[in-house]
């Protein structure tokens, strides 16, 4: 009975360990154009990618995203945008990008994908505020520079002064994205653990 419990715990723990890490992405500044047809970002600077951090006053590249059309709610009050026709792209530039495959002319597409499922547009500022803040969040999926397909989440924090959003104008204060990816070490641990589990079950069956 004890062996069965240990096997069950290993089976649960190993996959969790394999997916415990991920790529953290931070973007800042830039603007958005917003309407019922969708939201499109412009000029947001890549400030952090997978442990690399831009020096003050500089960026590692750009982050670009777009949504589909508004499907519920309103632009001012918050609602939901469709992921149909959406995009999410991270481009690295400069010498730091040399370590990534596909380095060409000083830039490389680090992630290229799109939103999947509904994209939430949430009003986060208190009622009556002259400066409005919103959170655009959703699930994204796509391909890394190394050809690996990953799925993660992003939250883009937007601010706008009274009257600007009606004209489709907003600004990005900061965006945070996480793309969970397995590490080679934990994948090796997972493989070794699964082989061990298979061997223990085989010996148990033979003993019976």
Query: 152 φ, ψ to 5°?
Result: -150, -160
Q: How many domains does the chain have?
A: 1
| Residue burial 26-35, b: 16+ Cβ < 10 Å; e: rest | bbbebbbebe
Greater pLDDT, 83 or 5: 83
Residues 6+ apart with CB under 8 A from 78: 120, 121, 122, 123, 134
pTM exceeds 0.85? no
Calpha distance 99→150 (Å, rounded): 20
Binning pLDDT at 50, 70 and 90, where does residue 98 land? low
Binning pLDDT at 50, 70 and 90, where does residue 189 land? very low
Residues 6+ apart with CB under 8 A from 81: 38, 39, 67, 68, 69, 70, 71, 118, 119, 120, 121, 136
Instruction: State yes or no: pLDDT of 103 exceeds 60.
Output: no
Q: What is the pLDDT of residues 122-160, one digit of tens each?
A: 999 998 888 999 999 999 999 999 999 999 999 999 999
Residue 2 lies in a domain: no
The H-assigned helical ranges of 43-148 are: none
Q: Are the C-beta atoms of residues 90 and 111 closer than 8 Å to each other?
A: yes
Residue 171 lies in a domain: yes
Residue 120 lies in a domain: yes
Q: What is the pLDDT of residues 21-69, one digit of tens each?
A: 699 999 999 999 999 999 999 999 999 999 899 999 999 999 999 999 9
Q: Percent of the chain scored above 90 by pLDDT?
A: 62
User: Which residue range is the domain that position 40 belongs to?
Assistant: 21-181
Instruction: State yes or no: pLDDT of 196 exceeds 60.
Output: no
Residue 51 lies in a domain: yes
Q: Which two tokens stand for residue 85?
A: 């026709």
Residues 6+ apart with CB under 8 A from 207: none
Instruction: State yes or no: pLDDT of 179 exceeds 80.
Output: yes
pLDDT at residue 99, rounded to an integer: 63
pLDDT at residue 97, rounded to an integer: 63
pLDDT at residue 203, rounded to an integer: 56
Distances (CA, A) of 112 to 97, 184, 198: 16, 22, 38
pLDDT at residue 205, rounded to an integer: 46
Residue 59 lies in a domain: yes
Residue 73 lies in a domain: yes
Q: What is the pLDDT of residues 76-93, one digit of tens each?
A: 999 999 999 999 999 998
The separation between CA 120 and the C-alpha centre of its own chain, rounded to angstroms, equals 14
pLDDT at residue 18, rounded to an integer: 39
Q: What is the DSSP letter of 104?
A: B
Residue 62 lies in a domain: yes
Residue 154 lies in a domain: yes
């Amino acid at each position: 009975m004890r062996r069965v419990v240990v096997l069950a715990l290993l089976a649960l723990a190993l996959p969790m360990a394999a997916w415990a890490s991920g790529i953290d992405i931070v973007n800042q500044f830039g603007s958005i154009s917003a309407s019922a047809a969708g939201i499109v970002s412009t000029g947001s600077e890549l400030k952090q990618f997978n442990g690399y951090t831009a020096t003050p006053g500089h960026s590692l590249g750009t982050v670009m995203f777009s949504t589909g059309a508004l499907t519920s709610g309103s632009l001012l009050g918050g609602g939901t945008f469709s992921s149909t026709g959406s995009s999410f792209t991270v481009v690295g530039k400069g010498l730091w990008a040399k370590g990534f495959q596909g380095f060409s002319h000083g830039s490389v597409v680090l992630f290229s994908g799109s939103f999947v499922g509904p994209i939430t547009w949430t009003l986060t500022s208190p009622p009556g505020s002259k400066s409005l803040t919103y959170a655009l969040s959703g699930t994204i999926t796509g391909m890394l520079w190394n050809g690996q397909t990953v799925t993660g989440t992003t939250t883009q924090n937007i601010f706008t002064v009274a009257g600007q959003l009606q004209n489709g104008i907003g600004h990005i204060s900061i965006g945070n994205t996480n793309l969970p990816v397995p590490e080679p070490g934990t994948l090796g641990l997972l493989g070794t653990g699964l082989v061990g589990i298979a061997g223990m079950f085989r010996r148990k069956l033979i003993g019976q």
